[in-house]
Amino acid sequence: MPWWLKMFYPLLTWQIKTDEKVIYLTFDDGPHETATSFVLNILKKHNAKATFFCIGKNVQLHPEIYERIINEGHSVGNHTFNHLNGWKVNDENYLSDIKNASAVIQSKLFRPPYGRIKKSQVKILQPNYNIIMWSVLSGDFDVNLSPQKCLNNVIKNTAKGSIVVFHDSAKAMERLAFALPKTLEYFSEKGYVFKSITM
């Protein structure tokens, strides 16, 4: 995370201040048939809760998996309908895409795809949404990264109140399947709990 990005956007949520051993795992870009099911099964096994930033069109494709996320006590957030890059679209189109997503995703949480959002868009969204960024990127979306390196990223950078990004997508699956179970085991053993973002 470049330091200047946080300086530029101090109003966004980058981590959650806490003295307790709590980690906030987040999963972007689902629901996806195999990846999301895999994530839900492993979270359940560790009694962990998480937050899923869903793409509207994927919710439309897999409503039953979306329902399962909700039924198993996790939080959901809006990640636009078409996974738009805020830097590349005007505010009107960006907002209308988020509105379309809000028809299928009931949430006051929003995460901009690619972490790219203009100040003007932040300003429009802020009254209605808590914009959730992250403090730890697993890099699971990076096909050039080894599964072990992905796990190392998470273990090295995660601390109390960290917001960690994974992806429940086909592209991330190889690294996710390796790094997520090991992340849960490693931090559970150290007394951490995993909670969903609820504000």
Residues that bind Zn ion in the complex, under the rule CB under 5 A: 28-29, 113
Report the nearest approach of Zn ion to the CB of residue 79 (Å): 6
Q: For residue 28, indicate whether it is catalytic.
A: yes
Helix (H, G, I), strand (E, B) or coil at 184: helix
28, 29, 140, 168: the catalytic one is 28
Interatomic CA distance for residues 27 and 165, integer angstroms: 6
Residue placing its CB nearer to Zn ion in the complex, 76 or 192:
76
Residue closest to 95 by CA, chosen among 80, 106, 109: 80
Q: Are strands 163-167 and 193-194 parallel, antiparallel or unpaired?
A: unpaired
Collect all residues with Cβ–Cβ distance below 8 Å to 102 and sequence separation of at least 6: 78
| Smallest gap from residue 74 Cβ to Zn ion (A) | 17
DSSP state of 136: E
Structure token digits, residue 93: 């189109």
In the complex with Zn ion, the residue whose CB is nearer, 76 or 187, is: 76
Is the CB of 65 or the CB of 192 nearer to Zn ion?
A: 65
Nearer to Zn ion, 28 or 97 (CB): 28
CA 17 – CA 6 distance, rounded (Å): 15
46 tagged catalytic: no
Least separation in angstroms between CB 192 and Zn ion = 25
Q: How far is the CB of 58 from Zn ion (least distance, A)?
A: 10
Give catalytic residue positions: 28, 167
